[in-house]
Amino acid sequence: MKKKLLGLLMGASLVLAACGGGEDAKDSAGAGDPEKLYEQKCAACHGGDLEGANGPKLSDVGSRLSKEEIEQVIEKGQGAMPPKQLEGEDASAVAEWLAGKK
């Protein structure tokens, strides 16, 4: 009985270890790719096609805001948008990509 219980615990530990780290893997999957980062962190509110959903459309945001202004909104939030959806290089990469949308 003890051997079966030990085997069950070891098997469960291996399964859980293999599944662990999923959040980090998901977050790092789009690292450096602004389109993937947008899909992961922004598209739910701004739409996959940049046409808006719960948040405003971003398809022409580059004609209204500079890269620096976009990056500031990403990092500090604005209106209903919470701050720090992306930070650092990821925020900068997405801001640069969005600034090109005119």
pLDDT tens track for 57-73: 999 999 999 999 999 99
User: Could you give the CA distance from residue 49 to residue 31 in angstroms, rounded to a whole number?
Assistant: 20
Residue 90 pLDDT: 97
Residue pointed to by tokens 């469960």: 12
The backbone torsions φ and ψ at residue 94, rounded to the nearest 5 degrees and listed phi first, read: -70, -40
Domain CATH number, residue 62: 1.10.760.10
Residue 32 pLDDT: 74
Between 13-17, 46-50, 77-81, the lowest mean confidence (pLDDT) is in 13-17
Q: Does 54 reside within a domain?
A: yes
For 75, how many CA atoms within 13 A lie in the half-sphere containing its CB?
A: 14
pTM of the predicted protein model: 0.69
What is the residue range of 38's domain? 34-102
Q: Does 45 reside within a domain?
A: yes
pLDDT tens track for 1-41: 555 544 444 544 444 443 344 444 444 556 679 999 999 99
